[in-house]
Amino acid sequence: MEILKKCAESLITLRQKQPLIHHITNYVTVNDCANIVLAVGASPVMADDSKEVEDIVSLAQALVINMGTLNQRTVESMLKAGKRANELKIPVIFDPVGMGASSFRNETAKKIIAGVKLAVIRGNMSEIKLIAGQDVKIKGVDSLASEEDGTQVAQGLARKLKTVVAITGKTDIISDGTRTCYINNGHERLSHVTGTGCMATSLIGSFCGAVDDYYLASLSGVMAMGLAGELASESLSPAEGIGTFRIRLFDNISNLSQEMILKRGRVSYE
């Protein structure tokens, strides 16, 4: 399958280029994001003070903005770093964690979308629907939305913002407005570990720092996370649980190979 070959090649490119990925992110999953970026072969730098984010992003090949544990101090940093990244043609990946959970998050997401040209937006179904202006009943940072009309939402938002939209869930949906695909890798256990969404975004950021086609980069990042999840789950013995599963995610990302992508990647089209 042509697209799997391209994913596999993008992994090799990433490992050759070792792009530096600047994160302005939350303090819950920041260690996981740094380690997943290292595991896939890129290099992380986490920095969020408004006095330095423009310096830092200038050294980077991609910028990840993650809205978890949002605070007033870092909103300005997100906007400054995002604008500087735009000037330097560095791709910006946005993860609207907890969209809908508070007015503060909703307003911040609006500011970021209005002020920064985004290469990719990754979220779960409810977060993306809310970004697209639809009504969704939310529960904390978790989604209650159905997946049925996901394709329309992804395509519509991608066209409107001229960005790539990645909706992750049981079936992941990736669209740049023209091209749309579905990924059927992953495992339900991924939803029982904090940060797997954030890590998927950081993986997308890692691929965006290495390849110019952000649709392909998003597909590669989301698939990497899915493959790691299913391999980690298959490896568990009955006595093992969610702690060991989480550690094996990193094992499987660091051991991810072209062969694994070609053999187990499951991409489909409408």
Report the site for a second copy in 33-52 (rule: CB under 8 A): 34-35, 38-39, 43-49, 51-52
Q: Which H helix or E strand runs over 65?
A: strand 62-66
Q: Which of residues 32 and 95 has its CB atom nearest to a second copy in the complex? A: 32
Taking residues 142 to 161 in sequence order and writing x for each that binds a second copy by CB under 8 A, - otherwise, the string is x-------------------
- From the list 123-131, 208-216, 240-248, 261-269, the region that binds a second copy by CB under 8 A is 240-248
Residue 200: is it exposed, middle or buried by C-beta count within 10 angstroms (0-12/13-18/19+)?
Answer: buried
Tokens of 102: 């508070």
Write down the least CB distance from residue 12 to a second copy, Å. 17
Q: Which of residues 162 and 192 has its CB atom nearest to a second copy in the complex? A: 192
| CA 9 to chain centroid | 19
- From the list 31-39, 116-124, 159-167, 177-185, the region that binds a second copy by CB under 8 A is 31-39
Q: Which H helix or E strand runs over 87?
A: helix 72-87
CA dihedral of 208, 1, 250, 24, whole degrees rounded to 10: 20
Helix axes 2-17, 30-40, angle to 10 degrees: 100
Q: Applying CB under 8 A, which of residues 7, 120, 249, 261 lies at the interface with a second copy? A: 249
CB 128 within 8 A of CB 167: yes
Q: Is 187 in the site for a second copy (CB under 8 A)?
A: no
Write down the least CB distance from residue 26 to a second copy, Å. 8
Q: Applying CB under 8 A, which of residues 72, 148, 212, 270 lies at the interface with a second copy? A: 72
Write down the least CB distance from residue 226 to a second copy, Å. 17
- From the list 4-12, 19-27, 174-182, 205-213, the region that binds a second copy by CB under 8 A is 19-27
| ∠ CA 103-107-113, rounded to 5° | 145
CB 46 within 8 A of CB 30: yes
What count of other Cβ atoms lies within 10 Å of the Cβ of residue 63? 30
The count of chain residues that interact with a second copy, using the rule CB under 8 A, is 64
Give the binding site for a second copy (CB under 8 A).
20, 22, 26-32, 34-35, 38-39, 43-49, 51-52, 55-56, 59-60, 68-73, 98, 101-105, 138-142, 192-195, 235, 239-244, 246-255
